[in-house]
Amino acid sequence: MPKPTPELVEKAVNAIRMLAADAVQQANSGHPGMPMGAADMAFVLWTRHLRFDPQEPRWIDRDRFVLSAGHGSMLLYALLHLAGFDCTLDDLKKFRQLGSRTPGHPEFGHLPGVEVTSGPLGQGFANGVGMAMGQAMLSAKLGPGNPVADHFVYAIVSDGDLMEGVAAEAASFAGHNRLGRLVYLYDDNEITIDGKTSIAFTGEDVTRRFEGYGWHVQSVDGRDHAGIDRALSEAKAVLDRPSLIRVRTTIGFGSPGKAGKSSVHGAPLGEEELAATKRNLGWPLEPRFLVPDDVRALWAEVAAERRAQREAWNAATQAWRAGNPEKAAVLDVHAERWVPDRILDRILDGAAGAEATRKLSAAAIQKIAPLVPSLVGGSADLAESNLTDLKGGGSFAPASPGGRNVHYGIREHAMGAIMNGLAFDGLFVPFGGTFLQFADYMRPSVRIAALSGLQTIYVWTHDSIFLGEDGPTHQPVEHLSALRAIPNLHVVRPCDGEEVAVAWAHALKRRDGPTALALSRQKISAVRRDGAFDPEAALRGGYLVADAEGARFTAVATGSEVPLAQAALDLLAKKGLPGRLVSVPCLACFEAQPASWRDEVVRPGLPACAIEAARGTEWWKLVGRDGLVVGIDRFGQSAPEKALAEEYGFTPAKLAERIEAWLASRS
């Protein structure tokens, strides 16, 4: 592309600024300051470095661009529009409106080219780390010289991103793993909502902090295009470390009254200040949403250059595919995140037995690993407890990026967000383990996975107070309820090997949302079923395990409480109070079934009780107000499992007593 004149470049950057300011003004809500300040670095990155194809936004070897400071969404939308993605001026005019493709913060799936859902600060930072990890893993699998996985992951990150703990965890992980294709631009504008960063962010020297993590760090002035260009080139050349480029900017650049002030962070400029800004920048006051012809022409040249780049890539890749059919097949397996059709049968084969469900899960994982090459995962330093190791899978590490076992370290939150990065990228199926109690440390990322419809799998073990002696800090009580409250998250609490197989198969087949496995630390007794296990019934989330003639009630249970409930039902049957036993491994799946199935399983008119060693609030919906929920409404205690079972009423005799009293109170 011929070098544009400095005047045209300035005009093109101002076009980004003014699209952002106009859109925020029109919406009467939004964040103009960040896009106005960061427009220069974004322009240099997108026009001189970023590799993209607007015609095929998910092109496998595109460079990834993450806007971690999602409140600056208009920066991304303006870039997508100018670069020729399917983002029209009309989309920009509908910024932040109901049903528009341009929501307040970027949301994955709304617009092509939006790589991640960002907004909770720090998440995007960690997502990019996951993407860079995916790049390293894929590249290792495809071998040297492959033209498919040599992309970079860029992000614009802000003060807020760097202050959030999740970014610290992710930066440490990225430094340790030497993710050299990670290049982050830090919009160092020294302003947040409450004022100057000097009120809360001077205790650390960001440069030394990131150097300490093992990053390559540069500093550059935010208006110096040549400097930004050079820094990006240097960052790309340093392939043994992630890069942070500190870009010193002025928030709200161009606004005579508000530049450099927190007042421009999150509110429209106002009509007067918008006009003053346009005058200041030599921009016509009208029309709004102006993209001058010469600016369009400049972007058309960028697009033409990218097209040529893409065509050269196509040719190189075709030649590589022809010469490397086996590697090409590996690539296709990843591109599809291929899972065999009969995966459930394969996992079920030989599954069964009474065991801790975490152990049954470990057995399932070993069967799955060779069948699903895109499955990668690990634990936040609890692999020995979560039993997440893919045996023989090798460790993901700088010297072995093809390893499938990820050592996240004690960084649950980053693990969640890094898994999301892998899932946004779509080339791997990530799973991650920790204790169910520590799911709290991952929750913001789990929520984003659910919101964004990501395929992530959580292996949360030690799923009740019956983990025992570690005590209440480690014993989940409210967690199942809190997690079930997240829309689109499937929480599955299986009771035996067969249900564990169903849980894993469900998680692997599910493409539009995350699945969480809640697994027991302790050994669970065997469940007696009427007839053979019916996987189709279990996949519906809730099913009848054992019927009883003349049943007086239905007992619903999950996980370790299914055999417990069965033992209690045996006692009650002897007293002339037979009951039906229902297992509900996945309440969300069960609730999605037609009423005919739900009514068949939990018969209307028959009293129902639910038994789960947890808070249990969500079961009231199923059992009704005259039903019974046997749960736990206080914290656990440090004690052996058996003592806890006595203390909390989770023995067959005590449970039978509760149910009998409840039935008596109804008659």
Ligand X SMILES: Cc1ncc(C[n+]2csc(CCOP(=O)(O)OP(=O)(O)O)c2C)c(N)n1
Q: Which residues are catalytic?
A: 412
From the CB of 77, what's the least distance to ligand X, in Å?
16
Pairing of β 191-192 and β 429-435: unpaired
Q: Phi and psi dihedrals of 217, rounded to 5?
A: -125, 135
Tokens of 602: 């939990």
SS3 for 424-490 is HHCCCEEEEEEEHHHHHHCHHHHHHHHHHCCCCEEEEECCCHHHCCCCCCCCCCCHHHHHHCCCCCE
From the CB of 488, what's the least distance to ligand X, in Å?
20
Give the distance from CA 243 to its chain's centroid.
Answer: 23
- 155 binding ligand X? (CB under 6 A): no
| 318 contact partners, CB below 8 Å, separation of at least 6 | none
Q: Which stretch binds ligand X (CB under 6 A): 188-196, 306-314, 464-472, 602-610?
A: 188-196
DSSP 247: E
Q: Which one of 15, 27, 67, 69 is in contact with ligand X (CB under 6 A)?
A: 69
Residue 307, amino acid: R
Which one, 260 or 468, has the nearer CB to ligand X? Answer: 260
- 73 binding ligand X? (CB under 6 A): no
Alpha-carbon distance 460 to 368, whole Å? 18
- 71 binding ligand X? (CB under 6 A): yes
- 260 binding ligand X? (CB under 6 A): no
Q: Which one of 32, 128, 160, 175 is in contact with ligand X (CB under 6 A)?
A: 160
Site size with ligand X, rule: CB under 6 A = 20
Q: Which one of 4, 30, 32, 33 is in contact with ligand X (CB under 6 A)?
A: 33
From the CB of 104, what's the least distance to ligand X, in Å?
10
Q: Phi and psi dihedrals of 166, rounded to 5?
A: -60, -30
- 191 binding ligand X? (CB under 6 A): yes
Which one, 147 or 444, has the nearer CB to ligand X? Answer: 444
- 159 binding ligand X? (CB under 6 A): yes
Bridge partner list, 158? 187
- 416 binding ligand X? (CB under 6 A): no
Give the number of other Cβ atoms within 10 Å of residue 326's Cβ. 8
Which one, 253 or 299, has the nearer CB to ligand X? Answer: 253
From the CB of 76, what's the least distance to ligand X, in Å?
13
From the CB of 252, what's the least distance to ligand X, in Å?
9
From the CB of 444, what's the least distance to ligand X, in Å?
7
From the CB of 589, what's the least distance to ligand X, in Å?
31
Which one, 36 or 360, has the nearer CB to ligand X? Answer: 36
Planar angle of CA 176, 179, 183, nearest 5 degrees: 125
- 440 binding ligand X? (CB under 6 A): no
Which one, 119 or 497, has the nearer CB to ligand X? Answer: 119
Tokens of 41: 């670095």
Using DSSP's 3-state secondary structure scheme, residue 393 falls into coil
Which one, 34 or 577, has the nearer CB to ligand X? Answer: 34
Alpha-carbon distance 478 to 323, whole Å? 55
Alpha-carbon distance 559 to 353, whole Å? 14
| 401 contact partners, CB below 8 Å, separation of at least 6 | 136, 137, 139, 140
- 34 binding ligand X? (CB under 6 A): yes
Tell me the C-alpha to C-alpha distance, in Å, between residue 347 and each of 61, 507, 529, 538, 663.
Answer: 33, 12, 19, 14, 40
Q: Which one of 7, 165, 193, 512 is in contact with ligand X (CB under 6 A)?
A: 193
Residue of minimal CB distance from ligand X?
160
Which one, 33 or 476, has the nearer CB to ligand X? Answer: 33
- 189 binding ligand X? (CB under 6 A): yes
**Sites of contact with ligand X (CB under 6 A):** 31, 33-34, 69, 71-72, 119-121, 158-160, 164, 187, 189, 191-193, 251, 265
